[in-house]
Structures are given as structure tokens and as C-alpha cells.
Structure 1
Amino acid sequence: MKKMIRFSIFSAALFLFISHNAFSQISVGLRGGINLSNFKAPRPVKFDSKTGLNAALLINIPFSPKFSLQIEPGFSQRGSKFDIDWQWNLDSTRQRTHIFGKILLGYVEVPLLFQYKPRFGKFEGIVSLGPEFRFGLGPQEIKSTSRTYKDGVLIEDTYTEYDMRQPNGYRTFDFGLVGGVGVSYPLQFGRIFTEGRYHYGLRGMTASSELYNRGISIHLGILIPIKK
């Protein structure tokens, strides 16, 4: 029992010591950039990248001069463009249906990134890897145009907006992995950095679909150390 108490006291003291030293070196900052988001899904749907914006607050907690944990709560615009084209013969008539549009998604994203930062003179490399959690916020909709042709002649043209937030099985919570590489440079009051990342969604957009959030992002940001 005494050993347990001593071990608990020692663990608490060690935790407070590490926390004290880490806190004295914690950096905070901001980043912003663009997403080139897409979906991974089986055919016949063809998905293309859609451009969106991202921004986040940064909290960087170092474990050593080269390793740290970076927490990045922020907002991100995701989604994709899509295109479906069917053609078939019916009663000697050539039929065609062309559906195209875009999926618009907004998320609060929280990456938890373990970072390795090797030095190259004044420059500092950045290698990031960790999980990412997404919570639906803002627009969650599909905008599509459907055109039907008969022997090459347009006979129907319909535009539709569909709200994915309705109770229809679409998931507003998503998670995945993210990895990236970048570089930072020191300033008088902190460090400026740029980084490119790949986002690999692991949860289907619905319980029965194989539709996953994927894409790349490019960031520019700044970190400023907090000093007591």
C-alpha cells in the first residue's frame, strides 16, 4: 500500500514537472489554406476534386526539441464534384441520362498530430501524422443537374438541391488519418510555416455506402511560443 502511495506521488510529481516544462514551451497560432477534396467510391459515379477553404487554431505541445503534439481545432470545407452518364437502347431509340453536380460539406475538424521536426540550419522540417475527427457543421447538401436525351435531343432538364442533414442515414461524424510534410522558418516572435497534407477518411458517409472523404490540403500558418 505504501509503495502504491509513493508511486502515485512520484507519478503526480513527474507529471507536474513535465507539464510545467512543456507549458513553458507551448506555442499557439493560426493556419489557413485550401482543400482539394474528393471522394473514394465505386463506379459508375465519377468524382472530381472540389476546392474549399480551411482554417484552424493551433496548440503545439513539445515533448523534446524534435517531437511534439499539435492539436488543431478548426473549420474545413469539403465535398466533391460528381458525374454520372448512362446510355442505353430502348425500342430502337438511343437513351441517355447525364447527372452532374457537387456535394458541399462543412466540418469542424480536430486533427491530433504527432510531429517530427528535424533541423536544417535555420529551417525546420515538419513531418505530421495522426488521427483526424470531423463533425458536420454548416452546408451539407447536394446540388445536381439531371438531363435526359432521346436520340441526342434534350427532352428533360432538372435542377435539384438536396439537404443531407435531413434524417436520411447520412453521417455527420467522420474520422480518418492525416499525414503531411512541410517546413518552417524562424521570425523574431515565432515561426512561420507551410505544409501539405493528405487526408484519408475511414468512415463511410452512410452505414451502407463505400463513400469516403479523401483529399489533400495546403496550409500557411504561424506559431508563437507562450512564455511565463
Structure 2
Amino acid sequence: MKKMIRFSIISAALFLFLCRDASAQMNVGLRGGVNFSNMRVPSPIDYDSKAGINAALLLNIPFHRYFSLQIEPGFSKRGAKFDIDGEWLVGSTRQRTRMFGEILLGYVEVPVLFQYKPRFGKFEGIVSLGPEFRFRLGPQKIETTTRKYEEGVLVEDTYMEYDLTQPHGYRVFDFGLTGGAGVSYPLQFGKIFTEARYHYGLRKLAANGDVYNKGISIHLGVLIPVKK
């Protein structure tokens, strides 16, 4: 894991060095979109995707006609939904308990992406692949509602919040891989683009469980050339 982080940092620094005198223009920009985040966990609990916003600043550095390096510091809302439902008999009474809610996580994220950009007439394809680093930010919690039934009648309805920022909560630092594809179109001031990506976490979110981030995201953004 440490080797992967060092390799990514060294690669980014090397490309920045090689591109300092490149004839191609650097580009800066913004993107925003939505995450459909989830969690990868080997347990009987089924997690569902949770929608959340993402936004980032963009620094795009071409080093070839079809290739570039793009660094994207930004903010991202992640997490997952869960719904656990069980029913059993206690004596002659049929009882049921349903617990559902959301895991809420927020991160400062820094993807470092190597991009291939083939041309299709006026359109430009985008194929991205690279590591992304996440730093936990803000309140991290689980919101859960527990409902208990007896013979189909609701007898208890409880809402609770659990803080995950305590010592036994989720780790501050996370990293993984992301890859995706999209398309851009030239405008007078630069380019407008859209892209879809898949995110695959490689670090356990907690030391005592095999829980990893995962999900997909959809982005819309602009890139503007910077004059030298």
C-alpha cells in the first residue's frame, strides 16, 4: 500500500517536471456531479447505494497529443444505505424487527488520473485510470431507525445516531482506484465534458472489519486552457 502511494506521488511529480516546457497548454477547470456510493463487505448485510454530491477543481497537463495527467482535489459525500429485517416466534407471538438507515461519510478526495483522449471529429473521448486518495472530513455517523412489531402491530419506533469519529470509528485516510470513460466537446472558451467512473476502495475503513468504499459517479465539468 505504501509503495502504491509513493509510486503515484513520484509519477505525478515526474509528469509535472516533464510537462513544464511542453508545447501543449495546461488546462484548469471545475467539475460537479453525483456519487452512487456503496460499501464492499463480506457479510450477510446487504448494503444499497446512497446518492451524494461531489465537486472538484481540475488541473489537466497534456504530455502527448492523446495523453494527459489530471489532478482533481475536491469534496465527496459517500456512504451506504442498509435495511435489516427479521421475523420470528416468541412463544405464540409473532415478532418482527426492522432496522434501516444510512452510513454518512464525507471526504476530501484527490484523484490522480492518467487520461487517454482519442478524437472523433469535434468530439474527444476520455478514458481515465489512476489512484485516488481520501481524507475523512466532517461528521461521520450512522443514522438508524429501529421498528419492532408484534402480530403486525408497531410497538416501538426508535431513531438513533451513532458517531463514527471516535477512536473505534472509520479511519481518517483511505485510498483506492478509479477508472471511467466520457466525452468532451469544444466551446469558444474551452471544453465541456461528461464522464462516468467506477471507484474501488483498497483500504479497510476500520481496523476491525473488512469494509471498503466502492461505487460509481457521474460528472459534468469544464476545462479552460491557461495561456503561457
Long gaps (5+) in structure 1: 1-14
Check whether the contact 2:16–2:61 (CA below 8 A) recurs between aligned residues. Answer: no
In structure 2, the residue matched to 1:161 is 161
Measured against aligned partners, the alpha-carbon deviations of 1:31-75 in whole angstroms (never above 9, x if no partner) come to 011111111223432211111111000011111011111000000
Residue 194 of structure 1 and its aligned partner are, at CA, apart by: 0.6
TM-score of the superposed pair, with normalisation by structure 2: 0.88
User: Aligned-pair distance for 1:182?
Assistant: 0.4
Equivalent position of 2:71 in the other structure: 71
CA contact (8 A) 1:32 1:221 kept: yes
Quick one: structure 1 residues 134 and 17, their matched pair in 2 at CA, closer, same or farther if it must change by over 3 Å?
Answer: closer
Q: How far, CA to CA, are the matches of 1:85 and 1:43 in structure 2?
A: 15
Q: Deviations over 1:154-174 (max 9, x none)?
A: 222110011111222421221
* Alignment partners' CA distance in 1, 2:192 and 2:113: 18
Report the AA paired with residue 145 of structure 2.
Answer: T
Change (3 A) 1:27 1:203: same
Query: Match for residue 174 of structure 1?
Result: 174
Structure 2 SS opposite 1:148:
strand
- The residue type equivalent to 2:46 in the other structure is K
Asked if structure 2 preserves the Cα contact closer than 8 Å seen for 1:125 and 1:181, the reply is yes
Task: Report the Cα distance in structure 1 between the residues aligned to 2:172 and 2:146, rounded to whole angstroms.
Answer: 26
Partner Cα distance (1:65, 1:147) in 2:
59
- State the secondary structure of the residue aligned to 1:22: coil
Structure 2, gaps ≥5 residues long:
1-14
- The 5-angstrom pairing of residues 138-217 of structure 1 reads 138-217=138-217
Deviation (angstroms), 1:202: 1.6
Alignment check: 8 A CA contact 2:19 2:62 kept:
no
Distance 1:128 1:159, change over 3 A: same
Q: 1:205, CA displacement in angstroms?
A: 1.8
Q: What is the rounded CA distance, in whole Å, between the counterparts of 1:44 and 1:151 in structure 2?
A: 26
The structure-2 alpha-carbon separation of the partners of 1:17 and 1:135, relative to structure 1 and needing over 3 Å to count, comes to: closer
Which residue of structure 2 lines up, in the alignment, with residue 119 of structure 1? 119
Q: Deviations over 1:179-200 (max 9, x none)?
A: 0000011112211111011111
Partner residue, 1:98: 98
Q: Secondary structure at the match of 1:99?
A: strand
Secondary structure in 2 matching 1:21? coil
Q: Contact between 1:115 and 1:128, CA under 8 Å: does it hold in 2?
A: yes
Does 1:221 pair with 2:221?
yes
2:72 equivalent to 1:88: no
Q: Conserved in 1, the CA contact under 8 Å of 2:24 and 2:63?
A: no
Match of 2:12 in 1: none
Secondary structure of 2:188's counterpart equals coil
Quote the sequence identity (%): 71
1:144 is displaced (CA, Å) by 0.4
